[in-house]
A and B are shown apart, each in its own frame.
Chain A
Amino acid sequence: SYDLTQPPSVSMSPGQTARITCSGDALSKQFAYWYQQKPGQAPVVVIYKDSERPSGIPERFSGSSSGTTVTLTISGVQAEDEADYYCQSPDSSDSWVFGGGTKLTVL
């Protein structure tokens, strides 16, 4: 297996741009996925295949990839975006790994 590393926390004021990174060797070869999880709820996928946005996810959520690091960007953070965010990636044998999670606080 392999590790995906995220910062434990990010704090932003409303309207600012939040960037959450996820690093791991496998990310240079595999797609990344991002999930938003609010307290007491199941996760929701907000970005798939590095940069694709599922229907129903606001346009302010975007994803990018460079080498072994992927980034989730939330442009114009809103209070409702306060949540835990997890990156995820498969390996070539179709096993999956989650990052440690990043708590986004909207001040």
Chain B
Amino acid sequence: QVQLVQSGAEVKKPGASVKISCKASGYNLADYTLHWVRQAPGQSLEWMGWINAGNGHTKFSQKFQDRVTITRDTFARTAYMELSSLRSEDTAVYFCARGRPISEDYYDSRGFTEWGQGTLVTVSS
């Protein structure tokens, strides 16, 4: 079955960067988009960006576009999200989630159909 398995919890100091991995199994990573979503404690879900895992094209929320990088290694079946210049407000659980097949238009999306288990990032001095 389709699974997304994320890397483990991280503790970082303000100003540092964090890089989280998301390993896909049960499907070909390169055939779908892959999104990153975060959730601060007690808060709503917040979309950060996505990658077309086939061609590497990315799109980011305006809020994060200066600080976030999303990449993928199709041979390793793994996507990565790196967030730089961390501050305390970045303390959150970060999720990866599978989006639409890259052959389809966003209008045909069935939503974010599979999710990783989440990675807690704590930013503290």
Contact = CB atoms under 8 A, between A and B. Distances in A.
Interface string A17-58: 000000000000001010101000011110011001010000
Contact of B110 (A44, A49, A90): A49
Nearest to A92: B106
Interface string B113-124: 101111000000
Interface residues of A, number: 25
Contacts of B44: 86, 98-101
A91 B95 CA distance: 21
The 10 closest A-B pairs by CB, nearest first: A42-B115, A33-B111, A45-B111, A94-B106, A98-B45, A48-B111, A96-B47, A101-B44, A48-B110, A100-B44
Interface of A: 1, 31, 33, 35, 37, 42-45, 48-49, 52, 54, 86, 88, 90, 93-101
Interface of B: 35, 37, 44-47, 50, 59, 61-63, 95, 97, 106-107, 109-113, 115-118
